[in-house]
Structure 1
Amino acid sequence: MTRISGRIVTPGAVVPGHLDLDGEAIAAIVPDDAVGDDVIVPGFVDLHCHGGGGHTFTTGDAGAARKAAAFHLGHGTTTVLASLVSSPFELMRSATVDYRPLVAEGVLAGIHFEGPYLSHARCGAQNPAFLRDPSLSEIAELVEVGDGAVRMMTVAPELPGACEAIGLLRSSGVLAAIGHTDATYDQTHAGVAAGATVATHLFNGMRPPHHREPGPVVGLLSSTTACELIADNIHLHPGMLAFAARSAGPERAVLVTDAMDATGMPDGRYELGGQEVLVADRVARLAHNGSIAGSTLTMDVALRNAVAAGLPLVDAAAMAATTPARLLGLSGTLGALVPGLRADLVVLSADLTLRRVMRSGAWI
């Protein structure tokens, strides 16, 4: 039996002690005050990631996807969705087919389509050439060929047919997310009523709040949706991160990276969805207009930034693992340090710097 010692971050408490493992599973948590300063958190679950380590999920290349997942695994992300950007349907379909074996193998937890059914006015780094109104036939075909691999899709609820698309996603067992939207407050709530349960990177790619027209940000915070937050201190000021996380609570707030292939790589020129991206001092921007284009964030840094912003470590760990695992329907398998769940965990030093990563009871 393997034993790991440290300050164990369980749901609701930090327990100094030992984590006993039995094969791939957590067997027991044994309290003990004399265990040192290491911090043990559940393996991170990233719902929104486009790539990393020089490799991308966005082109539908299975070899690149495997390498991108491995890069983020090295930073503690033991469960990841492969996020694509707005693309022609042919690429969406072929990526679904090619990623399906990786989902079956457990390399990926599934596919997230960020678009193409998004707002032109709030497209951000999405390629406007590929944006279009929702197509129920396209969605149905992707769900069918994915055979469970398609796990989430982002839609702007104000588009024609968007609420019908959200309803189809919900009935198909796919998370419907609201994002890249110019919706009003009422249109946002209509999308939630239709079945949307996630807000794609809250604040970013959305109409800003106004006291006479709250728009999607307040609409989503005031609803029951989970709210993705990119904790890189670039997409969100630390004060805004803390405000949104406290407003939603750890049971709804979700840390994500929105990472692109430039993550972990030198500054320079990259590509996202057919558009040139320039990366300088960690910040990725479209070359032609300066729009922020994804991030160079990893989940270990996101957790550390969330705690530095003033969030309790227990809440930050829930936002990085427990809450997104529940959204994916995996809370009975992973996402928390609880006896009986899979031994996916990250060992951090006292200052929350990554030391080791374990997935399914094996050190990475």
Structure 2
Amino acid sequence: MRIFARRVIAEGREQASVSLTIEDGRFTEVRESSEPTGADVTLNDGILIPGLIDLQINGYHGTDFAHADDADWHRIARRLPETGVTAFAAAFVTAPVPTLAEALRRCGQAMNASSGTTRARLLGAHLEGPFLSPAHPGAHDAGFFCDPEPGHIRALLDAAPPGTLAVITLAPERPHALAAIETLASAGVLVSIGHTAATAEETRAAVDAGARMVTHLYNAQRPFHHRDPGVIGQALVDARISAGLVLDGHHISSQAAAMAFGMARERLVLITDAVAAAGMAPGRYRLGDRSIHTETGRPPTLANGAFAGSTLRMDHALANAVQLGLPLLDAVAAATSRPAELLARPDLGRIKVGAHADLVWLNDGLETRATWIGGEPAFAIPGIKDH
């Protein structure tokens, strides 16, 4: 298969008139070509970029992953390419450790069953809790919070089929947290800092132990103060930390976004933190065992008004980042190659020889027009052919 595009972001830079050859689901040639001779697909407008990767999706199209059956897993993975997402981590909010262990087993089964190239790739689970701070619970049930004791960590690692536990968010100030971070990082798990009252010093100690990311920067964290910068201040100045951002126009202000762009531009990762209400009409949905409510133009909330994830699309997050002033190349990297790097997946999030041929074609407003996974069509706006 060969795709020709007039505008492409490939190998970390914007290129004009590129021909992509795909065999057995991977790129075998990426080269400049002035004409689409021999191309199976010709894209004369818009922009072609690597498929988008979301490290935090709690659910979609009416279903929370905590309650998903086999059909739900497949349906969500089929629908995500409509938003440009070609790979994702399924997020689970705080619950008792045995419940999360069972969620890991079910996620592993879904990963094993996720064959076929018309579905977004399931990269594993993101456990957001239960090792969080009661000072910043967000939408989580603080009654289930606990310390990351060795027995809890071992129970989760033992329950997870190899490669299933991809990301875990925890508060590094809790007892046993630094040892837990070392154990998890040694097991190949991406440890992210979130829902935390950690000081800058505690954050730095967590990074020294192996943590490499901050979950939804600015939200559910110790507030920044010029004499007490906390996790926010440390994340903005520590070159070892990647910072996740929810750019839905509600979770952070344009000024806060600009500060992150200016101080951590090359370390940003776009996430949606999408919940079951994403892609659905306003109404009531579930997040774990909690009821959440959505209204038009507002993020989902608990009954007390606390934000409970988002209904953000990943391609919209990309467009919002660019509209707020993040250069296009950085915005694309934040949604493609950077999350892939954090999961040690050099075969994803890039248009280069040897990588999986996951692609999204965006219009000039950076909204998804078509998506390919492993070089196979996974989504296209009705009526779109070669352009």
Superposition TM-score, scaled by structure 2 size: 0.89
Aligned length: 362
- Tell me the equivalent position of 2:21: 21
Counterpart of 1:163 in 2: which secondary structure? helix
Correspondence for 1:156 among 171, 179, 203: 171
CA offset at residue 327 of structure 1? 0.7
Q: Which amino acid aligns with 1:67?
A: R
User: What secondary structure, in the 3-state scheme, does the structure 2 residue paired with 1:9 have?
Assistant: strand
Deviations 1:81-124 (A, max 9, x none): 01000011222111111111222345410111000000011011
Q: CA deviation at 1:253?
A: 0.7
Q: Secondary structure at the match of 1:5?
A: strand
For residue 358 of structure 1, what is the aligned residue in structure 2?
A: 372
Does the alignment pair 1:292 with 2:294?
no
1:154-191 Cα deviation digits (max 9, x unpaired): 11011111111111111111111100001111111111
Residues 1:225 and 2:241 aligned together: yes
The whole-number CA distance in structure 2 between the counterparts of 1:8 and 1:2 is: 14
Aligned residue in 1 for 2:383: none
Instruction: Give the C-alpha shift of residue 54 in structure 1.
Output: 1.1
Greater Cα offset, 63-72 or 295-304 = 63-72
Question: What is the deviation of 1:60?
Answer: 5.6
Q: Distance in 1 between matches of 2:15 and 2:289?
A: 48
Native 8 Å contact 1:57 1:68 kept in 2: no
Q: Which residue of 1 aligns with 2:156?
A: 142
Task: Give structure 2 stretches of 5+ with no counterpart.
Answer: 37-42, 115-120, 379-387
AA paired with 2:306? S
Report 1:302-341 matches (<5 A): 302-331=317-346, 333-341=347-355
Note if 1:123 corresponds to 2:124: no
Structure 1, 179-188 or 218-227: larger mean CA deviation: 218-227
1:345 corresponding residue in structure 2: 359
Structure 1 residue 32: deviation in Å?
Answer: 3.2
Bigger mean CA deviation after superposition, 310-319 or 64-73? 64-73
**Secondary structure at 1:48's aligned position in 2?**
strand
Distance 2:327 2:170 in 1: 32
Deviates more, 1:211-220 or 1:68-77: 68-77
Q: Which residue of 1 aligns with 2:55?
A: 47
- Give 1:238 shift: 2.9
Tell me the alpha carbon deviations over residues 223-265 of structure 1, each in whole angstroms, 9 at most, x when there is no partner.
2111111111111223322321331122x21000000010010
Larger deviation: 159-168 or 241-250?
A: 241-250
2:128 aligned partner: 114
Matched residue, 1:192: 207
Q: In the alignment, what sits opposite 2:103?
A: 95
1:236 aligned partner: 252
User: 188-197 or 257-266, which moves further after superposition?
Assistant: 188-197
Does the 8 Å contact 2:302/2:308 carry over to 1?
no
Q: Distance in 2 between matches of 1:12 and 1:329?
A: 17
Residues 43-71 of structure 1: per-residue CA shift (max 9 Å, x gap): 01111110111122133644323322322
**Farther off after superposition, 153-162 or 24-33:** 24-33
Which residue number corresponds to residue 30 of structure 1?
Answer: 32
Please report how far the alpha carbon of residue 144 of structure 1 lies from its aligned counterpart in structure 2 after TM superposition.
2.2
Distance 1:60 1:248, change over 3 A: same
Q: Would the aligned equivalents of 1:267 and 1:282 in 2 still touch at CA under 8 Å?
A: no
TM-score, normalized by length of structure 1? 0.95
Superposed CA offset, 1:128-150 (max 9, x none)? 12111113212212212312211
Map of 1:6 onto structure 2 = 6
CA distance in 2, matches of 1:112, 1:4: 36
Identical pairs, percent: 36
The answer to whether the Cα contact below 8 Å between 1:15 and 1:31 also exists between their aligned partners in 2 is no
Distance 2:302 2:92 in 1: 20
The Cα RMSD (Å) is: 1.7
What letter corresponds to residue 344 of structure 1 in structure 2?
D
Q: 5+ unaligned residues in a row in structure 1: which ranges?
A: none
User: Aligned with 2:17: secondary structure?
Assistant: strand
Q: How does 1:253-264 map to 2 (within 5 A)?
A: 253-264=268-279
